[in-house]
Structure formats: C-alpha cells, structure tokens
Amino acid sequence: MKKIIYSLKEIDNVLFEIQNLIDKFSVFLFFGQMGSGKTTLIKKIMDKLLQIKDLVNSPTYSYMNKYFSKKFKKNIYHFDLYRLKNFSEIIELGLKEFLIDENSIIFIEWPEIILDEKLFDKNKICIIELNYKKINNREILIKTNN
C-alpha cells in the first residue's frame, strides 16, 4: 500500500505514482466520499498519462463514458456507479459487456455494487482511495495485490 498526501496543486506528483500502474493493471476502482477528488484525478490521468485529448466529463448521468487511448491502443471506460442500486441495473443498462472488455483500461467511481460480482482478475485491480485530510489536502491510498 502506498500513501500520498497532496493538494490539488500537487496532483502531478500523484500521477507520477500512478504512471507505472497503468502498465500493470487494467481496472482502477476509486473509493472516496463525495467531492474527494475521484473525477478530478481520473481526468488528470486521462489527460496526462493516457493522452486522451477529448473532453473528459464525469459520467454521473450517463453511467459510462468511452474514450480511446492512441498511446496504449486501448479503449478507456470511465464508469460512475453512484446512482445505481445493484448489479442487475448494470445488466439492464447493457454496461456489463464494457466492464469485462479485456482490451481496455477501466476506471470505476463508486464501485461498491460490483465488488461481489468477481468480474475481474484480482491481479488486474488497483484500488485507489481518496480522503480529505485538511481543507485543501487529500490523502490517497493505492492498494494492489502485487
């Protein structure tokens, strides 16, 4: 487990730590309370590390946004599952097939409803927890099985 305390001005330091993880893991689960910086961090990852030049928005209302990384030659899926109550809603919306796309990098905010579904190889998962520390500071915990 890696712990980093940072301010928004220092977010690039967090990207340095995540950069090596992009090659090793394909599923990134983001935990944290509302407003802790999950979407902000994902936007930075997409811009700086994956070199996505499209406008990256939170998929709060669409549940999923799809991008393509020319750098990694992979589909990138950004999920926000906050408004969903259970896994059956994911199936009803037709999102499961995107969650299990083997040739992709997946970012999931609010992943609690899929944790028991065993959709992913545990060795491909990186867990990122964001917490408030002080008014302008965040703490990030990066957990992997490796």
**Residue 21 scores a pLDDT above 80:** yes
Mean pLDDT in residue range 118-123: 84
| Domain containing residue 46: CATH number | 3.40.50.300
Whether the model pTM is above 0.85 = yes
**Residue 135 scores a pLDDT above 80:** no
Give the residue, 118 or 36, on which the prediction is more confident. 36
Domain with 28 in it = 2-106+113-144
> Residue with structure tokens 């990138």?
76
Give the residue, 105 or 121, on which the prediction is more confident. 105
Mean pLDDT in residue range 109-135: 88
pLDDT (tens digit per residue) in 65-115: 999 999 999 999 999 999 999 999 998 988 888 888 888 999 999 999 998
Mean pLDDT in residue range 37-58: 92
pLDDT number for residue 57: 87
Number of domains in the chain: 1
Which of the four pLDDT bands, split at 50, 70 and 90, describes residue 18?
very high
Mean pLDDT in residue range 20-26: 91
**Residue 146 scores a pLDDT above 70:** no
Quickly list DSSP for 73-111.
TEEEEEEE-TT--SHHHHHHTT-HHHHT-TTEEEEEESG
